[in-house]
Structure 1
Amino acid sequence: MGRPKIPRNICGTPADSCFKPNGIPMSELDKVELAPDEFEALRLVDLKGMQQQEAAAEMGVSRQTLANLVKSARYKVVGCLAEGKALLMHRLD
């Protein structure tokens, strides 16, 4: 049994809940889910330009956890762009 997940501070939300290739029905696409903490890690590091240590403190996680979240999120986003998959994101509103 793994360790329980540490609660993460998530302030940003995606503008939309899904991004997909144009002209292809959602029912025909493979789907990849981007977790809220992965989205927040990407937002802080790549959009806001924070250093990983600063972003980790903002989210309330270790720098290594943040690095793992960023790596996982980037892998999913690039995979969707390169392979034409739908990227699903959950809004926390």
Structure 2
Amino acid sequence: MSPRPKKIRNCQGRFCGRAFKPTGTPLTELKKIELHRDEMEALRLCDGEGMTQEEAGRCMGVSRGTIQRIITVARKKTATAVTAGHALIFVDEDEASE
């Protein structure tokens, strides 16, 4: 039995680049943590724009529960990267499978 196809998520935010890393260390020497487009959008809406998870879910076309799962993973990845000095690599879903 195949899993249900992933629902399309409306992501409108633009990335500020391809990666975010500590200064002074080349990207090749850092551990890389992938932050997917939907995770970045959930962070932008909930933490940047101050929306509730329900409002963010409506904007992205998914349920509040889905936003809660996405934002939990995104916050953990971001906190790990910032506190441990890792690089955040911004990827679209298409690029992640390559």
Query: TM class, shorter-chain normalised?
Result: over 0.9
**Number of equivalenced pairs:** 92
Gaps of 5+ in 2: 93-98
- Give percent identity, aligned residues only: 45
Give the AA of the match of 1:11. Answer: Q
Question: Equivalent residues in 2 for 1:1-93 (5 A)?
Answer: 1-90=2-91
Distance 1:71 1:44 in 2: 13
Give the AA of the match of 1:45. Answer: C
Give the AA of the match of 1:65. Answer: T
TM-superposed CA distance for 1:16, in Å, is 1.6
TM-superposed CA distance for 1:90, in Å, is 3.0
Distance 1:2 1:83 in 2: 35
TM-score (normalizing by structure 1): 0.92
Distance 1:27 1:2 in 2: 36
Q: Which ranges of 4 or more aligned residues in structure 1 deviate by more than 3 Å?
A: none
User: RMSD across aligned C-alpha pairs, in angstroms?
Assistant: 1.5
Distance 2:25 2:52 in 1: 37
Gaps of 5+ in 1: none
TM-superposed CA distance for 1:37, in Å, is 0.4
Give the AA of the match of 2:45. Answer: L
